[in-house]
Structure 1
Amino acid sequence: MSKNFHLNSLISCIQHLYSKKVIAYPTESMFGLGCDPDSKKAVRNLLILKKRSIEKGFILVSSNYKQIKKYIDETKISINQKKIMFKLWPGPVTFLLPSNPLVPYWLTGRFNTIAVRISNHFSIIKLCNIFGKPLISTSANFSNMPPCRTKRDVLKNFGEKFPLLNGKIGNEKNPSKIINIIDGKLIRYV
Structure 2
Amino acid sequence: MRHPVRPAGRFLHRLRAHLCQGGLIAYPTEGSYGLGCLPDYAPALRKVIALKKRPQYKGLIVIAADFSQLQPLLAPLTTTEITAITQQWPAPRTLLLPVRRRQVLPALRGRGRQTLAVRIPDLATARFLCGAVGKPLVSTSCNRSGKKACRTEREVRRQFGRRVMILSGRTGGRKQPSQIIDWVSGKRLR
- TM class by smaller structure: 0.7 to 0.9
Residue 179 of structure 1: how far off its partner (Å): 0.7
Residue 4 of structure 1: how far off its partner (Å): 7.2
What's the TM-score, normalizing by structure 1? 0.88
1:95 maps to 95
| Paired residues for 1:57-72 under 5 Å | 57-72=59-74
1:179 maps to 181
Identity over aligned pairs, percent = 38
Residue 17 of structure 1: how far off its partner (Å): 1.1
1:34 maps to 36
Distance across 2 between alignment mates of 1:47 and 1:175: 19
Report the AA paired with residue 130 of structure 1: A
Residue 16 of structure 1: how far off its partner (Å): 1.8
- Match of 1:164, SS state, is strand
Deviation string for 1:165-186 (max 9, x for gaps)?
1111003221110111100000
- Match of 1:173, SS state, is coil
- Match of 2:97, SS state, is strand
1:17 maps to 19
Q: Are 2:143 and 2:149, in contact at CA under 8 Å, matched by a contact in 1?
A: yes
Distance across 1 between alignment mates of 2:97 and 2:28: 24
- Match of 1:24, SS state, is strand
Pair 4,133 (structure 1): closer, same or farther in 2 beyond 3 Å: closer
Q: State the superposition RMSD in angstroms.
A: 2.2
Residue 153 of structure 1: how far off its partner (Å): 0.4
Pair 88,19 (structure 1): closer, same or farther in 2 beyond 3 Å: same
- Match of 1:145, SS state, is coil
- Match of 2:166, SS state, is coil
Deviation string for 1:87-125 (max 9, x for gaps)?
220111100001112122111112110110012323212
Distance across 1 between alignment mates of 2:5 and 2:115: 38
Q: Are 2:6 and 2:128, in contact at CA under 8 Å, matched by a contact in 1?
A: no
| Paired residues for 1:128-167 under 5 Å | 128-159=130-161, 162-167=164-169
What's the TM-score, normalizing by structure 2? 0.88
Question: What 5-or-longer segments of structure 2 have no aligned partner?
Answer: none
Pair 150,119 (structure 1): closer, same or farther in 2 beyond 3 Å: same
Residue 51 of structure 1: how far off its partner (Å): 0.8
Pair 185,161 (structure 1): closer, same or farther in 2 beyond 3 Å: closer
Number of residue pairs the alignment of both structures matches: 184
- Match of 1:55, SS state, is coil
Pair 41,83 (structure 1): closer, same or farther in 2 beyond 3 Å: same
Q: Are 1:62 and 1:133, in contact at CA under 8 Å, matched by a contact in 2?
A: yes
Following TM superposition, the consecutive aligned residue runs of length 4 or more in structure 1 with deviations greater than 4 angstroms are 3-6
